[in-house]
Amino acid sequence: MRSALNSPFTPGADSVPEVWAGRIRQLSDWRDVVRPRRVAGLPERGRTILGEAGLGKSTLVRRIAGEAAAAGDWVTPQLRIPSGADPLKAIATAILELADGAGLSTSRERRIKDAVDRVEAVAAYGVSLTLRQQPGPEPYTALTDLLVEVGRAAVTQGNVVLIHIDEVQNISDENALSQTLIALGDALAHEELVRTPGVGAQVRRSLPIAVYLTGLPDFADMAGARRGATFARRFKTSTLTAIEDDALASALHPFVIDGWPVPNGSGGINHIRMEPEAAAKIIDLCRGEPFLFQLAGESAWYADTSETITRAQVLTGWAAARAEASSHVERILERLPNRESQFLRAMAELPTEERTLTRIAAHMGLPKATDAGPTSQRLDTVRGIIERGKPYTFRHRAVEAYLTSDWPDIS
């Protein structure tokens, strides 16, 4: 019945899992705000979605991209930027593919042909194109020009051009980051003069171009420091946090009520059911983390082959996955700056009701609360790990569980 070939859980693969939980606000933002406004020619900022590892940033935008493609939009693949790589090369290659799909690569218009030729050079040389002193506009300008041409073609089709750049925190070169953000931002801000039907008045309209950037919270500092107000005007940044338990319960509801359909090998369909206690245990173990939710579900699925997933099977599966869950949270903590790590550990060591800035700072050995203020602000507004209040609380519930209990061990 249950096997690796029919498991609907996929932890850490960046693919869109069959069992989807939460992120309704971000999905609605695409469906109800970004896409409709861009199709209508109204200005709308790009979206930057940041968060710690395991919160499903890339998966979320892959789902948005999948919906866009299903609606007929022109979508780039997930452009994952390796550390130290030249992002302009990857973006140029993706825009050339969009241009080809729009029929621009065979255009005889000199303006379009020149744009395609220049971006082909960018795809080959990237930022270093300028250093080679080849004639023509700067690489970022060439990218903008061709993307604008693709946007113009999309207007006639009534669809949207969607670009997804992942791991943006890996763009460590300041010049490459600046050129990337300016190229994309200029395309988002570009307006065309068009005539309205009937009266024939000229009005300005934006092109149907949408840009999603995804990465770790560190990117907020990089982009803010290097692009400042311009970046903020052109991109709206959201930091993902844990998924609410109610949303996780809704995702597992089909298992509990009707069962999850799987082929039975004889041309029919069987249904894998889940005991309510099993669903509750998966929710308890994952602590709102999408990666851990998929991990707990997958390990429970593999724990047996019967038609019903029991609480005992969830525990059996989690025992095998416990080390991976622990390593996941440890990696998050290990990459934090020392002061931020100290703050979290000091906060975790205090009783819940005593987690105030004054007490946390004192527990860290700092002379006054204001010395810990910037650290607490970053952990709240940039990383989304804590929430400052009276008292302070953890937003990242897996980090909290790891620091304050025996989790991920189970009794």
The pLDDT tens digits for 209-239 are 999 999 999 888 777 655 555 777 889 999 9
Tens digits of per-residue pLDDT, 149-164?
A: 899 989 988 899 999 9
DSSP 89-144: HHHHHHHHHHHHHTTGGG---HHHHHHHHHHHHHHHHTTHHHHTT-SSS-HHHHHH
CA–CA gap between residue 300 and residue 53 (Å, rounded): 22
Give pTM, 2 decimals.
Answer: 0.90
Which range (69-73, 152-156, 288-292, 294-298) has the least confidence? 152-156
Residue in the block written with tokens 């319960």? 249
- Alpha helices (H) along 19-86: 24-29, 35-39, 57-70
Phi-psi region of 64 (alpha: psi -120 to 50; beta: other; left: phi over 0): alpha
Helix or strand holding residue 170 (H, E): none
